[in-house]
Amino acid sequence: MRASDLLCPRPEGLYCPPGDFYIDPVRPVPRALVTHGHSDHARSGHGSVLATRQTLDIMGLRYGEDFAGATQAARLGEAIDIGGARVSFHPAGHVLGSAQIRVEHRGLVIVASGDYKRQPDATCKPFEVVPCHVFITEATFALPVFRHPPDTEEIGRLLKSVGQFPERSHLVGAYALGKAQRVIRLLRDAGYERPIYIHGALAKLSDYYRSQGVDLGMLHAPTVEGGKGDFAGAVVVGPPSAAQDRWARRFPDPISCFASGWMRIRQRARQGGVELPLIISDHGDWDELTATITETGAQEIWVTHGREEALVRWCELQGIAARPLHLVGYEDEGD
């Protein structure tokens, strides 16, 4: 059988005819398999959702418990037969609960990675290489210019700045699912023990991370009673949009920081008014993407969301068949 008979792009998302399901559909469908909780991959309104327990919990927190007609939790590594297809979930190292989805039918194996990274991250399970015939990779940062430095180095730069400017606060923009908790955890691992202030938009997910055993130390809501002096020298973490809000005015002379793989592009940092760009990404960089493609042993690569052409070209130079998938509706919520 051809690989495109096992998984094929449709307007709703990646469709599996033998199993009659979609992976990360962007429109409501009867049966969805979901790789992770970022809103461009995990949407509400499906008839049924199969995902890891943590992804289902995260969807429930974001959309309410009735986000799907029915749900089923997939245990990592456990095979489930759906129609003529055998599926299993494997860690993707992207955010808590994130998984690649392996689909097998008549000896043909396709792995849909969802979003993934290879850098160590104490807030989720590490990426697992799953051998396959066809590997579907993301391409968010698929240009050789994207090389993410170690996250510990970036957090070191943040802490150095905190030490240099004890009267000012540091306002760190980080997405609510994954990035924010990772930044907090990195600060703790670097020995930062003071309370960290978090924006209300991060509270529910941070509590959930803690319930799953991710130690984030003492987190406070930044209440305004004591005046700006309370936040001298403080580290405050909020969603990227919050830096422009009224909310940010309570902090003394804040230094605007942003934790994102896009911070590699200086112009992007400047345009966003970011004084201290932190290159911390939950997506693989060029080296991680190309190394992963090689490690899967796949003879064929399908490339989706991001810079498809560069990675397709790289594969061809290695003698690996590759093509862009051109799926629509994925907006990179997570970085």
Residue numbers at the binding site for Zn ion (CB under 5 A):
38, 115, 330, 334
Q: Give the separation between CA 194 and CA 322, rounded to whole angstroms.
A: 49
Hey, is 186 helix, strand or coil? helix
Q: Measure CA 244 to chain center.
A: 23
How many C-beta neighbours within 10 Å does residue 291 have?
14
Q: Are 137 and 117 in contact (CB under 8 A)?
A: no
DSSP letter string, 154-176:
HHHHHHHHHHH-TTS-EEEE--T
CB of 313 to Zn ion, least distance (A): 21
- Nearest distance from C-beta of residue 41 to Zn ion, angstroms: 6
Task: Tell me whether residue 241 or residue 318 sits nearer to Zn ion (CB atom).
Answer: 241
The distance of closest approach from Cβ of residue 167 to Zn ion in the complex, given in angstroms and rounded to an integer, is 37
Q: Give pairs for 183-186: CB < 8 Å, separation 24+.
A: 183/155, 183/237, 183/259, 183/278, 183/280, 184/216, 184/217, 184/219, 184/237, 185/122, 185/123, 185/214, 185/215, 185/216, 186/122, 186/151, 186/152, 186/155, 186/280
Q: Rounded to the nearest whole angstrom, what is the least distance from the CB of residue 118 to Zn ion in the complex?
A: 15
Locate 321 and state its tokens: 């068949």
Shortest gap between Cβ of 116 and Zn ion (angstroms)? 9
CB-nearer residue toward Zn ion: 146 or 247: 146
Looking at the Cβ atoms of 104 and 138, the one nearer to Zn ion is 138
Q: Which tokens sit at 195?
A: 């309370």
Return d(Cα 89, Cα 80) in angstroms, integer.
9
**Which is closer to Zn ion, CB of 104 or CB of 115?**
115
Kindly tell me which of 94 and 188 has the beta carbon lying closer to Zn ion.
94
In whole angstroms, the minimum distance from the beta carbon of 218 to Zn ion comes to 28
CB-wise, 38 or 182, nearer to Zn ion? 38
